[in-house]
Structure 1
Amino acid sequence: MKFKQSSLTVGELATGHGLSVPLFHIAGKDSQAPKVFIQANVHGAEVQGNAVIFQLMKRLEQMDVQGDVTILPLANPLGINQKSGEFTLGRFDPITGVNWNREYLDHQIDVASWYQRHCELDDKALIAAYRAELIASCDAHLNQQWGVTTGKRLAVTLQQLAHQADIVIDLHTGPKSCKHMYCPEYDVSSAPLFSIAYTLVIPNEFGGAMDEAAFCPWWQLTEHMNAVGRDFQVPVAAFTLELGSQELIDLEDALTDAHGILAYLSHRGVVADKVEPAQMPRYGCYLKDYKKYHAPTAGLVEYKARLGHILYSGETLANVLRLDRFGTNEELTELVLNQDCVPILHFASASVYQGTELYKVMTNLFELYTS
């Protein structure tokens, strides 16, 4: 079974040339199996997701695929081509300054009224009707008389694809980062299926990212239905996987992450082949315990803490060198934290302003287990 390639138009350049990206689709054998949407490279420098997609597609073509799989690498051509010298920028829309991954649509559907109009439908028909509502909402937003920004057009076009799926996986990386993932609270039992040691457990709320745009409308509907006495489970799963550091491609490491995705898809019945999760310790922390550490002083930073390893209270996080303070007690400043944590990512540059978001660290970790 082979992937079929088409293209998706996501905008236009000032010259009038269309912006299109490659789109791949493989049709599953079972119309009842979950449908999958996977995208990568919404941020220009975050290229490793494309390597994972390559390895994943190679393996899927040799497997017994039950559910439809739609894959969109290179999702943001504007961000990918936003270069400065040898570096890729592409995290923020250069026109508006908005993060490309915070442009998705919050539908703000009145779920109580919507459900009242559709409460006679069985679960299957209700899911189909709500999905059609979400897709139509995207379409209406894209075609409103006042128009939308370049970033919003890109995001909502991708969101329309995501709303057609039961499983949505968005592939990213950090600046300098170890692997970690974002998983909603209602679905935390799924996190150990992926080959990722650290999981951020996020509230079931909309914050602007693709994973939240995919699952939040369904969580809101589920909450209301359960409140009025109808037993209903959230039918959509959505995750963001952070696959290490930006500006790097590692095809061998991509095999590990492709295996983790396949283990999840196997568990969900998307592929009939049995793929077991990797044997590894896994830890989580709630988003409220994911702390940002800002540089208390400007200077040149020696990053000391090892990403993905515990940093004990009082150990050196980083050193800040100030040559303008040479010969004083401020020439070298040791930065320490007063609690145990696991550093997950740090700023890409060694040259920082005061107030730069220097590190992100997980605190109050707990172990996650494969069920």
Structure 2
Amino acid sequence: MTTKRVQEHLLPISAVGTERKIISVHFGANKSGVKAYIQAGLHADEAPGYLVAGRLLELLDQADAAGRISGEIIVVPVANPIGLSQWGTDIIQGRFDATNNINFNRRYYDLTDEIAKKIDGLLGGDEKKNIELIRKCTGEILAAKQPVTEAEALKLLLLTLSHDADIVLDLHCDHQAVLHVYMGTSLWPAGADLSAQLGAGVTLLADNSGDTPFDEANSKQWWELAEKFAGFPIPPACLSATVELRGVADTEPKMTEMDAQNLYLFLQRRGLIDGDRVPVPALCAEATPLQGVDYITATSAGILSFLKKPGDVVVKGEVVAEVRNPMKNEGRGETLPIASKTSGVLFARCADRFSRPGKIVAKVAGAEPLEGKGTNLLTS
């Protein structure tokens, strides 16, 4: 007997004659007491995650038919139908809400203070009971929310599905990139098996990256509550991570298969799927602080030529790209270098080859925090 069930969730009508929905695919009766939540396409124009989630669902169907699902697994294969509807100049513009230009992966509910008020005086010395209490109160807080816009309702729905999970994986991609992972500093090194299994070339750590992305809306309250209630055992009970599945054009079947298989093996090792647990692969690279990322920006307009590709190691001051202005010097052009401010792995670069002053053209993961980063550590 299979445990699979599919639920439809309607979003509020935002325009006359339209109605959107998401589906969530549920597996397992949670015999192991472990829950995982995985979603794809929150940034709706990032293609690889849809394919990986779809292939993972096929693998989970097979496991379910064989009675091997021991935990609870929820997969949302299309997390943002709003963004998928936003076509412009024949491409999907799925990163920002067209009605207000807010990033679909920013400004989720930051619930720490609300949870703290509800649990004050109710915590005890039993870690497991404290986890159950916090999750129960979080669910009650979310149930009382009254979103106004369609995007707000979508964000609330996704958090409602994920808030009580032990594992939350948000599948994204960059422009041109190696596979990389974002997670809380407090989740490392306990979460290192995720990066190792996926073969992540870079793992970026921050307990608070600013502006509350989806992954941190599920995780950072745990260490913030532990700090507020230092006398009680409150662990980082949710391994929540953003998984960047290389670049937007990396949709080859062999990559999709490899990533889906690796997610399956990770879930199996974490006790959600019965079967032999293969050894954890070696880490490709140690984690580095998100504060150490150099978002390399162009200082002039022109045509980009990259000298370094994703995965290359660079040293501080090394030129990674050049910008050529073809109107300088009576049409002969002028070429200006763009250099890294840190030593580390160039893990992502832009997909197009035009620059303007201030445009981020590449990202380098350095081992040491950079000065002047501020509190918002993510790109817009």
Asked whether the 8 Å contact 1:260–1:277 carries over to 2, the reply is no
String of CA shifts for 1:1-56, please: whole Å, max 9, x gaps: 463222222332302432112221111451x4211111110112112111111222
Q: Matched residue of 1:59: which SS?
A: helix
Shift of 1:136: 2.2
- In structure 2, the partner of 1:262 is 264
- In structure 2, the partner of 1:132 is 136
Mapping for residues 162-311 of structure 1, pairs under 5 Å: 162-189=162-189, 190-193=191-194, 194-195=197-198, 196-204=200-208, 207-225=211-229, 227-228=230-231, 230-273=232-275, 274-279=277-282, 281-311=284-314
How far apart, CA to CA, are the structure 2 residues paired with 1:353 and 1:338?
A: 19
When residues 112 and 22 of structure 1 are mapped into structure 2, their CA distance, relative to the original with a 3 A threshold, is closer
How far apart, CA to CA, are the structure 2 residues paired with 1:270 and 1:26?
A: 10
Confirm or deny that 1:24 pairs with 2:25: yes
How far apart, CA to CA, are the structure 2 residues paired with 1:249 and 1:10?
A: 29
- In structure 1, the partner of 2:52 is 52
When residues 206 and 275 of structure 1 are mapped into structure 2, their CA distance, relative to the original with a 3 A threshold, is farther
Asked whether the 8 Å contact 2:201–2:347 carries over to 1, the reply is no
Q: Matched residue of 2:15: which SS?
A: coil
Shift of 1:100: 0.5
Asked whether the 8 Å contact 1:103–1:155 carries over to 2, the reply is no
Asked whether the 8 Å contact 2:115–2:134 carries over to 1, the reply is no
Indicate which of 322, 326, 349 corresponds to 1:323: 326
How far apart, CA to CA, are the structure 2 residues paired with 1:299 and 1:203?
A: 37
Shift of 1:168: 0.7
Indicate which of 314, 326, 350 corresponds to 2:353: 350
How far apart, CA to CA, are the structure 2 residues paired with 1:334 and 1:352?
A: 12
How far apart, CA to CA, are the structure 2 residues paired with 1:155 and 1:29?
A: 25
Q: Matched residue of 1:182: which SS?
A: strand
Q: Matched residue of 1:355: which SS?
A: coil
When the two structures are superposed, what TM-score results if normalisation uses the length of structure 2?
A: 0.86
When residues 314 and 215 of structure 1 are mapped into structure 2, their CA distance, relative to the original with a 3 A threshold, is closer
Q: Matched residue of 1:361: which SS?
A: strand
Asked whether the 8 Å contact 1:103–1:156 carries over to 2, the reply is no
- In structure 1, the partner of 2:374 is none
- In structure 2, the partner of 1:157 is 157
Please give the root-mean-square deviation of Cα atoms over the aligned residues, in Å.
2.4
When residues 291 and 205 of structure 1 are mapped into structure 2, their CA distance, relative to the original with a 3 A threshold, is closer
Amino acid in structure 2 at the alignment position of 1:177: A
Shift of 1:244: 1.1
Amino acid in structure 2 at the alignment position of 1:265: L
Gaps of 5+ in 2: 369-380
How far apart, CA to CA, are the structure 1 residues paired with 2:107 and 2:11?
A: 14
- When structure 1 is superposed on structure 2, of 98-107 and 147-156 the one drifting more is 147-156
Asked whether the 8 Å contact 1:36–1:167 carries over to 2, the reply is yes
How far apart, CA to CA, are the structure 2 residues paired with 1:16 and 1:310?
A: 52
Indicate which of 49, 68, 93 corresponds to 2:72: 68
How far apart, CA to CA, are the structure 2 residues paired with 1:26 and 1:242?
A: 24
- In structure 2, the partner of 1:368 is none
Amino acid in structure 2 at the alignment position of 1:24: V
- In structure 2, the partner of 1:119 is 123
Shift of 1:240: 0.6
When residues 329 and 292 of structure 1 are mapped into structure 2, their CA distance, relative to the original with a 3 A threshold, is farther
How far apart, CA to CA, are the structure 1 residues paired with 2:102 and 2:314?
A: 33
String of CA shifts for 1:182-224, please: whole Å, max 9, x gaps: 1211211222433122100112566411110001222222233
Asked whether the 8 Å contact 2:47–2:248 carries over to 1, the reply is yes
When the two structures are superposed, what TM-score results if normalisation uses the length of structure 1?
A: 0.88
String of CA shifts for 1:323-364, please: whole Å, max 9, x gaps: 110458961222223542211112232122211111111112
Gaps of 5+ in 1: 366-371
How far apart, CA to CA, are the structure 1 residues paired with 2:19 and 2:279?
A: 42
Q: Matched residue of 2:217: which SS?
A: helix
Asked whether the 8 Å contact 2:323–2:355 carries over to 1, the reply is no
Asked whether the 8 Å contact 2:107–2:213 carries over to 1, the reply is yes
String of CA shifts for 1:143-188, please: whole Å, max 9, x gaps: 2xxx533322211211111113221110000122221001211211
How far apart, CA to CA, are the structure 2 residues paired with 1:219 and 1:179?
A: 26
Asked whether the 8 Å contact 2:204–2:288 carries over to 1, the reply is yes
Q: Matched residue of 2:321: which SS?
A: strand
Amino acid in structure 1 at the alignment position of 2:44: G
Confirm or deny that 1:105 pairs with 2:106: no
Shift of 1:292: 0.9
When residues 276 and 10 of structure 1 are mapped into structure 2, their CA distance, relative to the original with a 3 A threshold, is farther
How far apart, CA to CA, are the structure 2 residues paired with 1:111 and 1:105?
A: 11
When residues 26 and 322 of structure 1 are mapped into structure 2, their CA distance, relative to the original with a 3 A threshold, is same
